[in-house]
Amino acid sequence: MKVLVTGGAGYIGSILVPTLLARGDSVTVLDRFELHGHSLADCCRYETFTPIKGDARDTRLLDDLVAKHDVIIPLAALVGAPICAQDPIGAETLNRDAIISIVQRMSKNQKIVYPVTNSGYGVGEKDAFCTEESPLRPISIYGVTKVEAEKAVLDSGNGVTVRLATVFGMAPKMRIDLLVNDFTLRAVKDRAVVIFEGHFRRNFIHVRDVVKAFIHALDNYDAMTGQAYNVGLSEANLSKLQLCAKIKEQVPNFAYLEAPVGEDPDKRDYIVSNEKIEATGWRPDWPLERGIRELIKGYTMLRTQNFTNV
């Protein structure tokens, strides 16, 4: 297939694009390539790889590119509550308006697989699993813009959305501000972390299992189209304190402390059911423990100050 990936040089894209190319797809990446443009350097050996330097909000580019592709995977976004709070206009134009622009330019015979975030669930009911039928109550501009974009994709009647848990794991374009990646870095480098509101719970998913979910959606598109799917590790609905305990199993001298005062600006707190996508045959390959081992190896090599998102 001919696949257009916006933001394809980023964290998820740096795993997804080589995977698509290796399976025989032709891939065009639209990205600004502002930081760490080398993340897709190895893809240049494929004749079927086309990088285009540009902005996913540029409607003139979209007019030309969307019609030429069988599949669109829009990854370009401001990801996370902090960066969206710093640039709310950018969040609205990139996370929401650019997706609406893509949907408006698509025909019914084209496919779109769009990553959302289970941030949309906001604060879940106590000890109740959030399913795809649960009310969406985003509490940040990041969550709001992604939920609005998801609605545009699903209302088109011609898309699959994947509501991603908090992603972790090594990638050519690394991010260390994600929760598992961040706490593991602190364990390896600082041997300690102070936690605010350690009872807040999240679900987690490895970046390679995210890519596996994209491929699964493409391969099962007719059965999955028009629907949203939670994508996470069913055994990893953990509080921040429980996550630290998991890391400490592999970094024994890691010390973590819950602060008696102060609060986390990100108030998300929920547990998530991934049964719907599991019922379609998708299964993750990367349990949390394996991902932590991978991160420990990676952090022995990286100069990590280059890889934050804010």
Residue 240 maps to which CATH number?
3.90.25.10
Kindly indicate the confidence band of residue 307, based on its pLDDT and cuts at 50, 70 and 90: low
Same domain, residue pair 210 and 224: yes
Does position 119 have pLDDT exceeding 90, yes or no? no
The verdict on 197 and 270 lying in the same domain is: yes
CATH of the domain at 208: 3.40.50.720
What mean pLDDT do residues 256-285 have? 88
Q: Sorting pLDDT into bands at 50, 70 and 90, what band is 139?
A: confident
94 and 213 share a domain? yes
What pLDDT is stored for residue 310 in this prediction?
A: 46
150 and 15 in a common domain = yes
How many independent structural domains does the chain possess? 2
If asked whether residues 188 and 74 sit together in one domain, one would say no
Residues 91 and 180 in one domain: no
- 264, pLDDT greater than 80: no
Judged against a pLDDT cut of 70, whether residue 290 lies above it is answered with yes
Q: Of 184, 215, 231, at which residue does a domain stop? A: 231
Strands (E), the chain: 2-6, 26-31, 49-53, 71-74, 111-117, 129-130, 160-164, 166-168, 192-195, 201-206, 228-231, 237-239, 255-258, 271-272
Whether residues 137 and 42 fall in one domain: yes
Q: What is the pLDDT of residue 123?
A: 75
> For the whole prediction, is pTM greater than 0.85?
yes
Query: Are 154 and 182 found together in one domain?
Result: no
Clarify whether residues 250 and 120 are in a common domain: no
Q: Name the residue type at position 28.
A: T
Residues 147 and 294 in one domain: no
Domain that holds residue 270: 170-202+235-306
pLDDT in tens, 47-75: 999 999 999 999 999 999 999 999 999 99
Write out pLDDT tens, residues 143-170. Answer: 999 999 999 999 998 899 999 999 999 9
How confident is residue 268, by pLDDT bands cut at 50, 70 and 90?
Answer: confident
Whether 69 and 132 share a structural domain: yes
Mean pLDDT of 189-215: 95
Instruction: Quote the CA–CA distance of 110 and 67 in Å, as a whole number.
Output: 9
Q: Averaged over 93-102, what is the pLDDT?
A: 98
Q: Are residues 193 and 130 both part of a single domain?
A: no
Q: Is residue 232 pLDDT above 90, yes or no?
A: yes
Residue at 115: amino acid letter: P
